[in-house]
Structure formats: structure tokens, C-alpha cells
Structure 1
């Protein structure tokens, strides 16, 4: 068993708050030191926001859990200062293959275009991810960032007020009370915060059960995503194979509806199933085993006054499609710049309502895709199965059928169409960079575009004139002036200009487009800045 599971990395230490005569107030308290909570802490801490992370554990997560991290979350992690360790350790992949019975019916490339700094996906065990995030927290702490993690500090009660939140916290040395101006709940799918506040999910729970196993073995399978429908080793069901670092392989096997979950997790039952898949002669060791069911659900609202939910605490999807941790990182990416602006008095508190609007939209998009994947992978009627199998048969020879095959629509960044923060796009440009869209990367000689757009409002001009700085009601926006001549590959023109000769973009701190026009108009862009910061919504 991997010893990293057993080693405390933010062990319990008594804090001054426990001896204070009155509850100590913190700017932001985050409940949960998983990937989403730690990412939020790093994001806020980098901006100088005082943040306290409370977790009832003191170690990384047991088992690898989330393993697939998509390009957009890797770009977010670059901004947080910990993307490179992820890519260095992770297994990079772009290619997926789909099998029906024992036939490969087609394959797909998730990153068919060049000119991106990050790959389509990496596979990396969640315990490494959490370790790298904690390392980044320690690095920021050494630089004076106001971040603190308290392990074995379990929140037992929450009281909400109009201007703060009060928490009762249990520790190995007794309980204490602490307060927060803002509380961010990142405490997972079973969120105690959600339960304590009397809130619940809406959505679907699917009946099928899946065995998930991380297996240590030496194997010569390629670094690809392999998905089987009705394989010989798991007839009538499905299977998935992924490679991870350190010789660990992720295997998912569909088990069906009416099973004894505890019995199915026992090694004496797991090992024969894996031998059927891998062969009797393959030697392997079980690192982690679990049973899960699909759940496609979310809270009705993610913001409840001074309490804001993110990650699995706010929404759940099936693991096929890698939309769980990836969407959680996009939650924090959306939230933290807004929270910073509200705390600093540079935006109204109502700006946080746009987090709810935009990330509920993102959750609904993920739930829709995840539900469709689940219905295709696990047909609910014989007719549905006949239709699905016909699509799989046709996909082997006919291109038109391949988009209909759904083995999990893999995570892509969300475009916030209809967001109240978007300014109207009056005069064209590429659809992929319309207001609300995440900025695609582009090569700039030996550099890339996205690192130049990180963490601040930016006025991006491409072959267009504009002031070097705009200041609007306390918001400073600096210009990044580029030309299509900076990129001989012409990807910058394709992704940002299309048929236009020039373009001017207002880019948000989370690298989403707020406004776009072919040329600079001062009044329009000042209005766009106010709208994007919640000050001039219509």
C-alpha cells in the first residue's frame, strides 16, 4: 500500500484561536483541504486575501480517486503556480480508443490542433495532486502569503449571519469557535456544510454500480484511454483502462444493478475479474478498490448569503468524462477573483451572484453531458441497447456514426453564454472567442498567450490601437499589444480575429472574454469594465 496515504502532511497543531477570549474573525474560511479547497486557498492567498483552511483529516486522499486532468484546469493550475509539477509527473495523453466486443471501432484525438502549451489531458493520482497543492501552499507561506491549513479541525456547527458566518470546530484538544467574513464549502459530495444548513441536491441517481480499481503492474498497453462496450471479459457491461504514473493502472468495470457492494470489493472477488480482463499470467497488486454509482445532481443555488459552495459539495457527475475535479477547479477559478474584488471594495457584493449564474450553467452543462453518457453506457431498455449497439457497429466503418458514440464526453471548458457580465458582441469574430468564452492558448514565438493573461483584467489588442492603461472606478486594466506578425503559425489570427483584420478584447482575471470589438472605443470598453465587475449590469 502506498505510504503517502498514511503520512500527515498538515498535522494538527494548536492554534491561537483556541485560546482567544472571543471568536477570531477571518476574511475567508474554506472547509475541505481536497483539490478544490486547496486551489481556492492558493488563488486567494496569491492575491493577499487572508484564508484559513479547515479539514477533519490531515493527509492526502486515500486512493487515487480523480485521475484525469484536462487542458483548461492545467492552465488554471499554471496560474496558481503548480501546473508544471502536475505535467512533469503525470502521464500525458491525447488519444482515445473505443472497442465493441473485441473490435476497435474507432479512435479519436482530443487535441488535433497545435499551438497549445498544455496537453489535452494528463493522468495523475489525486494524492500527488493534493501533495503538490500543499507544497505550493508551503511555498506561498514562506513568501508571506496569509494562508493557514489546520488538520484535524472538524466543523461541527455553522451559524449564518448577514455579515459573517460562525463555526464550531472540534479538535483533538476540544472545541472552539471561529468566525469568517466569507465561508467557502469545498467539503465533498457528502458535504457536512450542506447538511448542517439543511440544503440538498436535485437531479438523478443511477442504479448501475461500477468497480473502480487502481492496479500496480508492468504492462505494455499504450498511453491512451481505452473504453470497451460489451467486452468478452465483462459481457453485457462496459470497461475502462487508463495509465497512471508509477506503474499504476486505473480499471473501471461495470457490475450491474443488484449487487452486494462490500462483497464485490473483497480481493478474492476483485482479482478474478481483473484476471479475466488482463490475463491469468499478468502479475498485479491492488492499490485501491471502491464501488461507485453514477450521480448527476447539483444544489439549486451555489451561493447562500455568506456561504458559497464549490466542487463536489455543489454538484456531482458521473466519473466518465473527467468532469468532477476539472469542473471544481473551474468553480474556484470563477469565484476567487470576484471574492477578492468584493473584499477589497472594488465590486458590489452582488458580483458573487454571477458566480452562481455562471457555475450553475457550467454544472448543468456537465450534468447534461454526463447523463447522456450514462444513458448510452448503461441502456435502460432493450430497445435502447439495440440502438446503441447499431451505432457502435456503424462507427467501425462510417464517420457519421462516430459522434453518436458516447463513452463519456470528456471535459471541456465552459463558455458562459448569457452571463450578466458579458458585453454584447456587435461586430463579429470567431465563435470560439465570443464573450463568455475561455481564451484559447496561442503560440507567441517561444512563449504562449495564456500566461500573459493570468490573474488580472487585460485589454488584449491585436493589430489595433488603444491606451496602455485604462482606470475605471478603481479598476486598473493594462494593455497587452500583439500583432499577427508575432505568430508565424497564424493560430493567433485564426483563434482571435477570424476574418477580421484587428481585434480588441477585455479579458477577465479568469481568462474568460468579457467584451470583444474589432477596434477600441473608450466609452464601450469603460462600460464593459463596469459590467464585468458587476457595477453596471442591465
Structure 2
């Protein structure tokens, strides 16, 4: 077994809060030290917001769990200080192959374009992501940042109030009480926080189960995503193969609905299934085995007063498409800059409602895509199966059929169309950078665009005049001036100008477009700042 599972990263230590005469109140408390909770805490700490993370464990998650991290997540991780470490450790891939029965029907490339600092996807066990995030917390602590992780601190009770949230926390030395001005619940799909507040999910649980097996083996398979429909080794079902670091391979095998989960997880039952897939002579060791049920559900809203839900505690999707952890990290990217402005008194609390509105839209988009994938992978009628199989047969020879094959539409960032924070589009520019969209990266000589946009409001000008800074209601936007004359790859022009000859963008701290026009107009951009901060 990988020793990382056994290593305490944030062992229990007694906190001064446990000896306080009255409950200590913190600016922000995060419940849960998984990738989403740690990302939220790091983001807040880097902005100077004091934050405490409470977790009932003291180690990384057992098993690889989430393994596919998207380009957008890696871009966020760059800002959090863990992106390069993840890419260096991870398995890079952008190609996939789809099989039907015993034949390959087609293959695809996720990133045919160039000009991005990060790959389309990496495969990396979740425990390595968590390990990198905890190491980043330690770096921030050494630099004096206001961040703390408390292991073996289990939240047992929550009381919500107009000005704060009261928590009762259990520890190996007994319970204590603490308070938070804002509580961020990142405590997973079974979320005790959600349960204690009497809240629930809405959505579908699909009648299907998949076996996950992390297999350690020496194999010469390429670093690609391989998906099988109705393979000879798992008739009537499907299968997935992904490579991870350290010669670990993720194998997913569809099992059906009416199964005994504990029986199916036993090694004596798992190993014959894997041998049927890999071959009798292939030597391997099982590192981790689990069974999951397809679920596509979410909370009605992600903000409940001073409690904010993110990641699996707020929404669940079926795993095909890599939408779980990626969407959770993107939740925190949307939330933390808004919470910073509210805490600092630079924006009304109403701004936090936009977190719920925008990320509910993203969750619905993920649920829609995940549901469609699930329905294609697991047809619910014989007619649906016949139609699916016909599409697979056609895809082997005809390009038009390939977009209809759905083995999991892979995660992409949500464009917040209709968001109250967007200003009207006043540029005849590319769809990819319309208001609400996440900014795509672009090469700038030896550098890239996105790091220059991180964590602040930016006035991006392309062959347009504008002041070096503009301040509105205490919010400052600083100018980044670029020109297509220096755009040797023409990717900046393609992604930000389209047919226009000049452009001015207002970019939010989470690198989403708030407004764009062909030229700078002061009143319009002042209004855009007010809108983007919930003041209009």
C-alpha cells in the first residue's frame, strides 16, 4: 500500500480555542480538508483572510478517487501555488480512444490548438493533489499567512445566526465551541453540515453501479483515455482505462444495478474481472477498490445565510467527464474573491448570492452533460440500446456520427450567461470571450496571459487606449496593455479580437469576463465594475 495513505499530514494539536472562556470567532472556517476545502482556504489566506480548516481526519484521502484534472483546474492551481507540482507529477494526456465490442471505432484529441501554458488534462491521484495543497498551506504558514488546519476536529453541531455561525467541535481531548463569521462547507457528498442544517439534494440516482480498481502494474499502454462499450471481457456493460503516476492504472467496470456491493469488492471477485480484461498472464496488485452509484443531484441553492456550500457537499455528478473535483475547485474560485470583498466591506452581502446563482448554473450544466453521458453509457430500454449501438457502428466510418458518441463529455469551464454581474456585450468579438466566459490562455512571447490576470480586477486592452488604473467604489482595476503586433502566434487575436481591430475587457479576479467593448469608455467601465461587485 502507498505509504502516503498512512502519513498524518495535520496531526491533532490542542488549539488555544479549546481553552478560551468564550467561543473564539474567526473570519472564515472551512469544514473539510479535501481538495475543495484546501483550495478555498489557500485562496482566502493568499488574500489575507484568516481561515481555519476543520477536518475529522488527519491524512490524505484513501484511494485515488478523483484523478482527471482539467486545464481550468490547473490554471486555478497555478494561482494557488500547486499547479506546476501537479503537472510535473501527473500523467499528461489529450488523446482518447473509443471501442465497441472488440474493435476501435474512433479516437479524438482534446486539445488540437496550441498556445496554452497547461495541458488539456492530467491524471493524478487525488491524494497527491491533497498532499500538494497541504504543503502549500505549510509554505503560507511559514510566510506568516493566516491559515490553520486542525486535524481530528469533527464538527458535531451547527447553529446559524444573523452575524455568525456557531460550531461544536469534537476532538480527542473533548469538545469545544467556536464561531465563524462565514462557514464554507466542503465536507463531501454525505455532508454532515448539510444534514445538520436540515438541507438535502434534488436530482436523480441512476440504477447502475461501477467498480473502481486502482491497479499497480507494469504496462506499455499509452497515456490515453480508453473507453469500451460492450467489450468481450464485460459483456453488455462498459469499461474505462486511465493511466496514473507510479504505474497505477484506473479501471472502471460497469456492474449493473442489482448487485451485492460488499461481495463485488472482495479481491477474489475483483481479480478475475481484471484478468478477463488485462489477460491471464498480466501481473498486478490491487491498491484500492470501490463501487460507486451514478448520481446527478444538487442543493436548491449553495448559500444559506452565512453558510456556503462547495464541491460535493453542494452537488454530485456521475464521474464520467471528470466533473466532480474540477467543478468543486471552480466553485471556490468563484466564491473566494467575492467573500474577500464582502468581508472587507467593499461589496454587499448580496454579491454572495451571485456565487450560488453562477455555480448552480455550472452544476446544472454538469448535471445535464453527466446525465446524457449516463443515459448513453447505460441505455434504459432495448430501443435506446439499439440506437446507441447504431451510432457506435456508424462512428467507425463516418465523422458525423462521432459527436453523438457520449462516453463522458469532458469538463469545461462554465460560461455564466445571464449572470447579474455581466455587462452588456459591446464588442463584435469571439464567442469564447463573451461576458461570463472564463478567459482562455494565450501566449505572450515567453510568457502567458492568465498569470497576468490572476486575483484582481484587470482592464485588458488590445490595441486600445485606457488609463493605467481605474477605481470605482474602492475597487481598483489595473490595466494590462497588449497589441496584436506582438502576437506572433495570432492566438490572442483569435481568442480576444476576432474580427474587431481593438478591444477593452474588464476581467474579474477569477479570470471570467465581466464586460467588453471595442474602446474604453469611462462611464461604461465604471458601471461594469459596480455590476461585477453586486452594487448595481
Which residue is equivalent to 1:406? 406
Deviation at 1:318, TM superposition (A): 0.4
Q: Distance in 2 between matches of 1:236 and 1:423?
A: 50
Q: Secondary structure at the match of 2:246?
A: helix
Which residue is equivalent to 2:42? 42
Which residue is equivalent to 2:479? 479
Deviation at 1:118, TM superposition (A): 0.4
Matches of residues 191-230 of structure 1 in structure 2 within 5 Å?
A: 191-230=191-230
Q: Distance in 2 between matches of 1:427 and 1:518?
A: 5
Which residue is equivalent to 1:122? 122
Q: Distance in 2 between matches of 1:20 and 1:32?
A: 23
Runs (5+) with no aligned partner, structure 1: none
Runs (5+) with no aligned partner, structure 2: none
Which residue is equivalent to 1:432? 432
Deviation at 1:529, TM superposition (A): 0.4
Q: Distance in 2 between matches of 1:383 and 1:53?
A: 50
Which residue is equivalent to 1:62? 62
Q: Distance in 2 between matches of 1:305 and 1:214?
A: 40
Does the aligned pair in 1 maintain the 2:212–2:291 contact within 8 Å? yes
Q: Distance in 2 between matches of 1:220 and 1:102?
A: 19
Deviation at 1:427, TM superposition (A): 3.2
Which residue is equivalent to 1:110? 110
Deviation at 1:486, TM superposition (A): 1.9
CA deviation profile, 1:126-154 (whole Å, cap 9, x unmatched): 11100000000000111111000000000
Question: Are positions 1:359 and 2:356 aligned together?
Answer: no
Which residue is equivalent to 1:258? 258
Deviation at 1:426, TM superposition (A): 2.5
**TM-score normalised by structure 1 residue count:** 0.99
* Number of aligned residues: 536
Matches of residues 434-453 of structure 1 in structure 2 within 5 Å?
A: 434-453=434-453
Which residue is equivalent to 1:82? 82
Deviation at 1:485, TM superposition (A): 1.6
Deviation at 1:112, TM superposition (A): 0.8
Question: Are positions 1:521 and 2:486 aligned together?
Answer: no
Q: Secondary structure at the match of 1:145?
A: coil
Q: Secondary structure at the match of 1:246?
A: coil
Deviation at 1:361, TM superposition (A): 0.1
Deviation at 1:257, TM superposition (A): 1.1
Matches of residues 450-469 of structure 1 in structure 2 within 5 Å?
A: 450-469=450-469
Does the aligned pair in 1 maintain the 2:295–2:318 contact within 8 Å? yes
Does the aligned pair in 1 maintain the 2:427–2:503 contact within 8 Å? no
Q: Distance in 2 between matches of 1:486 and 1:314?
A: 44
Deviation at 1:123, TM superposition (A): 0.2
Q: Distance in 1 between matches of 2:27 and 2:138?
A: 20
Q: Secondary structure at the match of 2:39?
A: helix
Deviation at 1:322, TM superposition (A): 0.2
Q: Distance in 2 between matches of 1:114 and 1:2?
A: 36
Q: Distance in 1 between matches of 2:196 and 2:455?
A: 34
Q: Distance in 2 between matches of 1:482 and 1:136?
A: 32
Q: Distance in 2 between matches of 1:270 and 1:461?
A: 57
CA deviation profile, 1:2-42 (whole Å, cap 9, x unmatched): 11111110000000000000000000000000000000000
Q: Distance in 2 between matches of 1:501 and 1:144?
A: 46
Aligned-residue Cα RMSD (Å) equals 0.4
Which residue is equivalent to 2:281? 281
Which residue is equivalent to 1:95? 95
Q: Secondary structure at the match of 1:203?
A: strand
Does the aligned pair in 1 maintain the 2:426–2:518 contact within 8 Å? no
CA deviation profile, 1:85-105 (whole Å, cap 9, x unmatched): 000000000001000001110
Does the aligned pair in 1 maintain the 2:427–2:500 contact within 8 Å? no
CA deviation profile, 1:232-266 (whole Å, cap 9, x unmatched): 10010000000000000000000011110000000
Which has the higher mean CA deviation after the structures are superposed, 427-436 or 376-385? 427-436
CA deviation profile, 1:218-241 (whole Å, cap 9, x unmatched): 000000000000001001000000
Q: Distance in 1 between matches of 2:257 and 2:200?
A: 25
Q: Distance in 2 between matches of 1:123 and 1:501?
A: 39
Q: Secondary structure at the match of 1:353?
A: helix
CA deviation profile, 1:456-515 (whole Å, cap 9, x unmatched): 000000000000010111011100000012221100000000000000000000000000
Q: Secondary structure at the match of 1:361?
A: helix
Deviation at 1:203, TM superposition (A): 0.1
Q: Distance in 1 between matches of 2:488 and 2:382?
A: 54
Matches of residues 487-502 of structure 1 in structure 2 within 5 Å?
A: 487-502=487-502
Q: Secondary structure at the match of 1:239?
A: strand
Q: Distance in 1 between matches of 2:503 and 2:513?
A: 12
Matches of residues 293-304 of structure 1 in structure 2 within 5 Å?
A: 293-304=293-304
Q: Secondary structure at the match of 1:357?
A: helix
Q: Distance in 1 between matches of 2:85 and 2:54?
A: 25
CA deviation profile, 1:405-460 (whole Å, cap 9, x unmatched): 00000000110000000000033111110000000000001000000000000000
Q: Distance in 2 between matches of 1:328 and 1:177?
A: 28
**TM-score normalised by structure 2 residue count:** 1.00
Q: Distance in 1 between matches of 2:301 and 2:437?
A: 22
CA deviation profile, 1:287-317 (whole Å, cap 9, x unmatched): 0000111000000010000000000000000
Matches of residues 140-155 of structure 1 in structure 2 within 5 Å?
A: 140-155=140-155
Question: Are positions 1:183 and 2:195 aligned together?
Answer: no
